[in-house]
Copies of this chain bind each other. A is one copy, B any other.
Amino acid sequence: MRKKQITMDDVARLANVSKPTVSRALSGNPNVTEQTREKVLAVAREHGYAVNRNARKLREKHTNTVAVVLDFSSHRRDRISDPFIYELLAGVSEALSVRNQDLLLSPPTLTNVDSYRDLVMSRVVDGFIMLGQGANDALFSELHELNVPLVVWGGKTDDTEYCTVGSDNFLGGYLAGERFVTNKCKDVLYVGNSEHLELRLRRDGLRKALNTAHYDIKFRELEIEDFSFSSHFESMARLLKKSSAPDAIFTYSDTAGMAVINALNEHGLEPIKDYFLIGYNDIAQASHFSPRLTTIRQDTFLAGSLLVEKFMSVLNKNNPTSSTIPTELIVRGT
């Protein structure tokens, strides 16, 4: 990399053409003879020329870079969200690459509205793809209000203005509930956190399905405050000590499901025999955990490409509509 940087001017000189011609040749502008184009490309290749993308970005309006926002904090140490969002990240990465967009991984310093807006104003990125909504609905709404281009992976209510792509959370919950009703479960526990819109939607779907039952069902919620494995485990253990054991459990994620199962195990309870449990996301480990997890699946690859597609559409000011990814019940050993 020590070799002095070659510029477009140099290429122009070496190819005996003008600078704009080089620019045109490289960008596939039709107004250039096939002959000169080849000459230019040859010179460029030979000298290992690469366009200075900062100069280009300065000149052009957009950066062709998208910030992807990941909530690392929930993936630290003992904290364990599902590796699910990394599958999503992989999908987004691929979809962006196809469109020649760079992916800037958002720094942990990105917290308030201003920090987000600055990133766009300083022309670092064109906008944001948020992988995970968490309890940030208000923040995202405000950004959207300020015309910061963004697309969010998450849930949507009637007054969600920004564009979302998300699992069909309500359906996912409904499918879980259906399984419980079919199996005549009488005491259903929902494990989640009502601050998260997505999780609320799953709960609502669950309840809706439970209401279709022709018998009485007890419904309980176990609110999880922090996202550590141990806090899941302990909350569940405490519940089991204090009260009767539920015969049906729907957890907001597979990982949460695993923690809960550990507690059920210690309490001497067995899947299917004593309880049904349904997780969410169908992460790779779910099918290899013991017991093999029954769960709700969604297509993360599709999700990634949809997120990117919508984002591009947002950039072009065509208010794209939000989308929902189908969910499907995967029945295994719980």
Contact = CB atoms under 8 A, between A and B. Distances in A.
Interface in A223-269: 229, 233, 255, 258-259, 262, 265
Chain A interface size, under 10 / 10 to 19 / 20 to 34 / 35 or more = 35 or more
A4 B191 CA distance: 47
A124 interface: yes
A51 to B, nearest CB: 6
The oligomer's copy count stands at 2
Nearest to A75: B90
A211 interface: no
Contacts of A78: 284
A320 interface: no
Interface in A28-63: 48-55, 57-58, 63
A104 B125 CA distance: 11
25 contacts: A1-B117, A1-B146, A48-B117, A49-B121, A50-B118, A52-B122, A53-B122, A54-B54, A54-B58, A54-B63, A55-B58, A72-B89, A72-B90, A72-B93, A76-B87, A83-B83, A83-B86, A93-B108, A97-B108, A102-B107, A103-B104, A103-B105, A233-B288, A262-B288, A285-B285
Interface of A: 1-2, 5, 48-55, 57-58, 63, 68, 72, 75-80, 83, 86-87, 89-90, 93-94, 96-97, 102-105, 107-109, 117-118, 120-124, 146-149, 229, 233, 255, 258-259, 262, 265, 284-285, 287-290
